[in-house]
Structure formats: structure tokens, C-alpha cells
Amino acid sequence: MVVQTGTTTKVLDKDVTLPNGSRVEYRTQSMVLANGTRVHLKEGDLLSLNGELIQKSPSNVAPPADATASLVPIASSAPAAPKPAAPAPRAVAATPPAASVATAPAAAAFSYRSEAPVNGKLRGVVELGASGFNMFIIRVDDKRNWKLEKAEFGNSLVMENMATEEDVRTGLKSYIGKMLDFGVPGRDIHFVVSSGAAMAENTRRIVKGLEALKYVVTTVTPEREGTLGLRAALPAAYATKGFVVDMGSANSKISWYANGQPRVEDTYGSKYYEKNVDDATVAAAVKAKAAQVPANLRGTCYIIGGVPYELAKAVRQGQEAFTVLKAPSDYTQLSGAKMKSGLNIYQALAQATGCQQFVFGYDTNFTIGYLLSL
């Protein structure tokens, strides 16, 4: 197996994980898709950086011009001494016995492996959201590599102003106790009020109650919330080819990097039906905001939030860390006003951007972005 970077060709002497989660194993001369399927590579197979396997043409006709830029031609199988690591591989080709191989099926799952923290410390955060009080504990190191250690999700009626102070006090004290028991130092326990919850009338009383317990509470704007979600949800490898959507109950944030700086647009959330706003009005507003995402960033959308979680859970394969959502029109079995509204937003996002890969990450929340920003 060989790797070609520009005009340089070298023997592949280590396993390579591609951006779509597929792994190329040089010892077994095979490719393991993100869904676990193994495909044995044959002489003449061409593999692009994004994981697309192209069968060698039986008539030896070259691939189309638009494909050759990301493919590697067959290289000699003659042995070569290992060389120092080259720049990121552009493509991989296989050299064992000639045979015809059908094109590998598209991966049903999406796998991204972030770098694990080294000698990390524990930090905890409680999100006071419009529809839930959620707790997250992460381990993070000096390089901002992080891993989710524990998460708990709870419902609230803050947005409807039906959560009593005692409800909130009891729930938050429970979370504080659990974080302390887990080993999070008291000084590293944080509270963040989402932009949606901040609009509720009784949020001020909740914040005062927490401050009385000597905790610092941070209230974020939609723009800040979108920036934090972008930081937590978008892997560095996708900074120049992806964007993020955080679909909340009160608002949705669409974010991406423009010249290295975060750009955020906010629009309707999945509980817009409570404000008697019609679907067409929301769809038009969402499309107008989503259309501002640059074309080169529309390949993959990392989407988080309550409704996206339900969409992902409906098609999740085992305990995968990421789930690629189905098309909006395929979720006919889900019901409820919030779900219907969320699907309307999802449909508008898909239509405006043409994105074919909406990826939900189970371990991500904008409040984790807050912890990473400390």
C-alpha cells in the first residue's frame, strides 16, 4: 500500500484514520468503515482522502477529471524503506493481487476520535436551559483536549414560568452534590444560563438563589452561546469544511468560522409554536440565516440540541459517539408539537445549505465550550 502527497509517494507504514472515520490498516491491507464493515483493498483500488473507494475501471480508463485530484494511481508493490512521516496523506492505494472489488457502501455511521486529555483536571457545569437543567463533567488538559466523564439531563418548565424556586433549588443542589462526590473541586463547578432561559421571568430569582450559595452564574447571549457551541462541537479538522447548528427550545444558533473568527446567526427555536408563529414564517427566517453559511463549509453540519437528540436516538446504532441524521422527510414516525417544529427548522436548514451530512454528537453541549474557554 502506498500514500501519495503531491508528487511524493511512500510506502504506508502505519494505520491511517480518514476524516470520515474510516480507518486504513496497512498490515491487513484493508479499510474499516465507520460502521465497522471491513473492505479488503485490491490492486487498482483508489481511495480518496474523504474515504471514497473507487473500483479500477476494467478497461483501464482513467477516472473522471474531477475525481483524479483526490485519488492516487496504482503504485508499484516493490518494497521500500520506511521514510519519515510525510504531510497528511492525500490518498491511499493497495497493491496485492489484482481483482475486481465493488465500490464500498457509504458508511451509515460517523466516527470522529478526538485526542484524549493527558493529566487532565475535572470541571463541572450546570446548564440552566429553557427546557432542561443539565449537568456535565469533563476532564480537560492544558491543550484543551477534553473527554466527557458524566452527564445528566433533567426537564424544567422555566420557559413556561412554571418551575418553582424550590424545584430549582432542589435540582441544582442535587447536581452540586453529585459533582463534588465525583471529585470536581468546588471552585471548578460553574453555572451557565442559556440565552433562552434568560428570557424567562423567574430566571433572575434562580440566579440570585445560586449567588446566595456563593456560586458564580454566567448568563450568555445567543451570539455567545453559538460561539461556545461552535468551540465544543466542531472538530479542528472540520473548521474549514463544516458548520454547527445548536437547535434550542427558545432559539437556534447557526455558527461557523470566517477567517478564523466565529460567526453566529440566531433564529427561531423548536418551541416557536408557543408564540403562535406559523411554520412558513419560521422556515423562511431559518433559510435566510442558513444561506449565509459559505458554500465551502456546507459539507458537514454538526447539529446539537434537544430535537436533534431525539432524531439521532431514533436511528442510533449501538453506542456510537456520533449519529448521521436521516433526511427530515424520513422522520414520519415522530410526533408532538416540539418535534414537528424542530423538523421544520431542520428541513429549512437542509434546503438552504444543501448539506447532506448532519451529524449529532452525544457528548457535546455549548456549556462544555464555556468550560473550554476558561
Percent of the chain beyond pLDDT 70? 71
Bridge partners (DSSP) of residue 232 are none
Do residue 55 and residue 163 come from a single domain? Answer: no
In a domain, 98, yes or no: yes
Full domain range(s) for residue 303 = 229-373
Q: How confident is the model at residue 258 (pLDDT cuts 50, 70, 90)?
A: very high
Query: Which residue type does 295 have?
Result: A
Confidence of residue 283 (pLDDT cuts 50, 70, 90): very high
For the cut 70, the answer to whether the pLDDT of residue 275 exceeds it is yes
> Does residue 195 sit in the same domain as residue 237?
no
Whether 113 is covered by a domain: the verdict is no
Above 60 in pLDDT, residue 108? no
Higher pLDDT pick, 44 / 176: 176
pLDDT band, residue 29 (cuts 50/70/90): confident
**Domain CATH code at residue 333:** 3.30.420.150
Is residue 74 exposed (0-12), middle (13-18) or buried (19+ Cβ within 10 Å)?
middle
**Total domain count for the chain?**
3
> Is 213 in the same domain as 149?
yes
Whether the model clears a pTM of 0.85, i.e. scores above it, the answer is: no
Say what the pLDDT of residue 45 is.
72
Question: Which of 63, 82, 108 lies at the terminal end of a domain, its last residue?
Answer: 108
- Express each pLDDT in 171-199 by its tens digit: 778 889 999 999 999 999 999 998 888 87
Evaluate if residue 262 carries a pLDDT over 60. yes
CATH code (residue 197): 3.30.420.40
b/e 123-139 (16+ beta carbons within 10 angstroms → b)? bbbbbbbbbbbbbbbbb
Look at residue 40 in the predicted model and tell me its pLDDT.
73
More confident residue, 132 or 51: 132
pLDDT at 213 over 80: no
Do the Cβ atoms of 18 and 51 come closer than 8 Å?
Answer: yes
Choose the final residue of a domain: 191, 219, 247: 219
Instruction: Identify the pLDDT of residue 204.
Output: 76
Q: Is 336 left (phi over 0), alpha (psi -120 to 50) or beta?
A: left
If asked whether residues 175 and 304 sit together in one domain, one would say: no
Report the chain's mean pLDDT, rounded to a whole number: 78
Q: Do 233 and 194 belong to one domain? A: no
